[in-house]
Amino acid sequence: MKTIKIKDLDEKVYEFTSQSGLKIYIWPYDLSEEVNMSLTVKYGSIHTDFKVGKTVYHLPNGIAHFLEHIKFNEKPGLTAHDYFYSIGSYTNAYTTYDHTSYEVTCSEKIDVNLNHLLYFVLNPYFTKELVQKEKGIIVEECKMSLDNPYNIGYQNLLQNIYKYNKKRNLVTGNEDDIKRISIDDVEAVFSNFYHPENMFLTVTGKVNPFEVEKIVEKFFEDKEYAKYIKPKLITKKEPDDIVKASDSINTNITKEKLFIAYKIPKKSYKAFDDLTLRILLNIILNINFGVTSEFNNYLLKKDLIDDMYYTINVEKDHVIIMFEISTSYPNEVLNKIRKQMEHLTLNEQEFTRKKRALIATSILGYDDSYEVNSDIRMDIIRYNKIVTDLKGIINSFTLEVVKNIASKITDYKESYIILNPLEENENPQ
């Protein structure tokens, strides 16, 4: 078993690889009364097109999410939800663009809970009847999601900024996608991606790492898995241009909503790895658009906005910066954000303060078992390793480096969506 030390913190994460090829990460935390377990598959909604050997697959959008749902069925009349509830535990799952994760939270019977988590995710129980039944459930879930006007704005924005990137599609797939899913599609994903070598287990909380290792090895000792052949994902290179510059949508809201996206070619940042780029961009945007920024306070004092949030996505070929703003003056706010993006402000005092805040946040995260579990998952998905020296990385940044990053936020394409309240007797678009 390998010990991974988190620098500047008295914390250790234990790592080992089981005989099946499954990697396990364990963070023991005696102050927690709970144990958080997550079994994560490196397969998400964007992975619909792939090749294994000479066989090429083009599966419907939404297949990853569909499989996540149907996976909870263990046998006729029994679901994993039923089982974990009967022993006083909680289970859930989620599907994102690039991974699917199955979670269990418990406070006792660690061996029983861990065994059953591995069992129900790795057990291929599928029937045509279950597939058909699940379609109706997920179609309703999809409809409910699209009844939310903010989801409409966000999804339309993604479709306007991406031409080929599969993120432009709903994680659930749309109604037609869901109806096209067959049991063959479900089995194709399971057989090609739900292999221990394409998964990892994260256990955090009040546990003994060596007991976890023993439980996992015992689970796999009488199971055999074929050699894993990693599928080759089929993708199209995303262009730097956007599909559409703007949209105005009338929908069921009480106040206007503004969504903005900036698509920045990543080639501008060849000298920076994804982790560095993500942290530095977050510092820059926090100084200029964060809740304590001068710009945000100005917009609030002028009653131009109710709130403003931003996200940063560092992808293979692009950096995507997105804003979501509640405002009665979308066009005026849009113009002000454009000007701020063109004249990003940075100074030593604010830069130092933001670095300290980021370090403090990373330290405080080790007080929460679930948060550490989630952080480990994201590190493995994003960087294929646990980030062990976040404090050192942040402290190594200088104002000159940050200014260099900011100076390159010029060659971008912008797209925006304005959501407008419906006029009386008007139907939503």
The one-character DSSP state at 53 is: T
Three-state DSSP state, 343: coil
What is the DSSP secondary-structure string of 199-256? EEEEEEES--HHHHHHHHHHHHTT---PPP-PPEEP--PPPSS-S-SEEEEEES-SS-
Q: How far is CA 329 from the centre of its chain?
A: 31
Query: Which structure tokens are listed for 9?
Result: 């913190």
- Torsions phi, psi of 418, nearest 5? -115, 120
| Cα separation, 21 vs 241, whole angstroms | 41
| Host H or E run for residue 56 | strand 55-58
246-421: CATH, from 3.20.20.70, 3.40.50.720, 3.40.50.1370, 3.30.830.10:
3.30.830.10
Give strand pairing partners of 200: 23, 40
> In terms of DSSP bridges, do strands 199-205 and 23-28 run parallel, antiparallel, or are they unpaired?
parallel
The count of C-alpha atoms lying within 13 angstroms of the C-alpha of 202, restricted to the half-sphere facing its C-beta, is 24
| Cα separation, 209 vs 14, whole angstroms | 7
Q: Do the first three CATH levels of 2-233 and 246-421 match, i.e. the same topology?
A: yes
Question: Measuring CA to CA, which residue among 312, 320, 324, 315 is closest to residue 264?
Answer: 320
Q: Which residues, including other chains, have CB under 8 Å from residue 422's CB and lie 6 or more apart?
A: 250, 251, 252, 253, 428
Kindly list the domain boundaries of the chain, sorted by start residue: 2-233, 246-421
| Cα separation, 41 vs 197, whole angstroms | 9
- Torsions phi, psi of 100, nearest 5? -125, 135
- CA distances 15 to 12, 27, 28, 48, Å, are 10, 9, 12, 30
For residue 332, with 0-12 CB atoms within 10 Å meaning exposed, 13-18 middle and 19 or more buried, which class applies? middle
User: Is residue 96 within 8 Å of residue 44, measured between CB atoms?
Assistant: yes
Q: First and final CA of the chain: distance in angstroms? A: 57
The angle that helices 330-342 and 274-289 make with each other, rounded to 10 degrees, is 120
Query: Which structure tokens are listed for 217?
Result: 């090895």
pLDDT in tens, the chain (429 residues): 999 999 888 889 999 999 999 999 999 999 988 999 999 999 999 999 999 999 999 999 999 999 999 999 998 889 999 999 999 999 999 999 999 999 999 999 999 999 999 999 999 999 999 999 999 999 998 888 888 888 899 999 999 999 999 999 999 999 999 999 999 999 999 999 999 999 999 999 999 999 999 999 999 998 988 899 999 999 999 999 999 999 999 988 888 999 999 999 999 898 899 999 999 999 999 999 999 999 999 999 999 999 999 999 999 999 999 999 999 999 999 999 999 999 999 999 999 999 998 888 877 778 899 999 999 999 999 999 999 998 899 999 999 999 999 998 888 999 999 999 987 655 655
Question: Measuring CA to CA, which residue among 170, 221, 27, 37 is closest to residue 111?
Answer: 37
Residue 367: the pLDDT is 85
Which CATH code is given to the segment(s) 2-233?
3.30.830.10
Residue in this structure with the two tokens 């065994």, named with its chain if needed: 115
Buried b or exposed e, range 268-300, using 16+ CB within 10 angstroms: bbeebeebbbbbbbbbbbbbbbbeebebbeebe
Give strand pairing partners of 260: 323, 416
> In terms of DSSP bridges, do strands 232-233 and 35-41 run parallel, antiparallel, or are they unpaired?
unpaired
The one-character DSSP state at 384 is: S
| Cα separation, 351 vs 398, whole angstroms | 9
